Chain A
Amino acid sequence: MAKFTRGFAGRGQATRDPRLPPGQYDAGPTWPVLTAEVTPKLDTATWTFRVEGLVDQPTTWTWDEIHALPPSTFDGDIHCVTTWSKLGVSFSGVSVDTLLAVARPKPEATYVLAFSHTGYTTNLPLADVTNGQAWVVWDYAGAPLAVDHGGPARLLVPHLYFWKSAKWVAGLRLLDHDEPGFWEQNGYHDRGDPWLEQRYQGD
Chain B
Amino acid sequence: MALPTRHAWEQATVVEIRPETKTAKTFRFRLPSAPALRAGQHYIVRLSAPDGYTASRSYSVASAPDGSSEIELTVERLGDGEVSSFLHDDVMVGDELELRGPIGGWFVWSGDAPAVLVGGGSGVVPLMAMLRLARRLGTTDRVRLVVSVRAPGDLYYADELPGPESTVVYTRTAPPSSTRAPGRLTEEDLAPLLLSDATAYVCGSAGFADGASDLLVAAGVPTERIRVERFGPTG
Contact = CB atoms under 8 A, between A and B. Distances in A.
Contacts of A83: 56-58, 234
Interface in A5-46: 5-13, 16, 22-23, 25, 27, 30, 32-40
A27 B4 CA distance: 29
Nearest to B89: A7
Contact of B5 (A34, A37, A38, A202): A202
A5 B235 CA distance: 18
Interface stretch (B47-55, B62-70, B187-195): B47-55
A202 B103 CA distance: 13
Contacts of A4: 48-50
A61 interface: no
Best-buried of A13, A27, A36 by chain B (most CB within 10 Å): A36
Contacts of A202: 4-7
B51 A82 contact: no
Contact of A36 (B7, B56, B107, B206): B107
B95 interface: yes
A200 to B, nearest CB: 6
B53 A16 contact: yes
Contacts of A35: 209, 228, 230
How extensive is the interface on chain A, given as a class? Answer: 35 or more
Contacts of A3: 11, 48, 96, 98
Interface in A157-203: 182-183, 185-188, 200-203
B165 interface: no
A203 B56 CA distance: 16
A152 B118 CA distance: 28
B1 A185 contact: yes
Contacts of A188: 4
A148 interface: yes
Contacts of B233: 27, 30, 32
B223 interface: yes
A38 B226 contact: yes
Interface string B91-134: 00001111000011111000000000000000000000000000
A101 interface: no
Nearest to A31: B232
Interface centre among A13, A22, A38, A39 (most CB of B within 10 A): A38
A6 B95 contact: yes
Given A10-B55, A11-B82, A38 B47 contact: no
Contacts of A148: 206, 210
A158 to B, nearest CB: 18
A158 B230 CA distance: 21
A161 to B, nearest CB: 13
Interface of B: 1-2, 4-7, 9, 11, 46-58, 82, 86, 90, 95-98, 103-107, 206, 209-210, 213-214, 216-217, 223-224, 226-230, 232-235
Shortest Cβ-Cβ A-B pairs, 10 listed: A32-B232, A202-B6, A201-B4, A186-B105, A33-B206, A2-B48, A10-B49, A10-B53, A38-B213, A4-B48
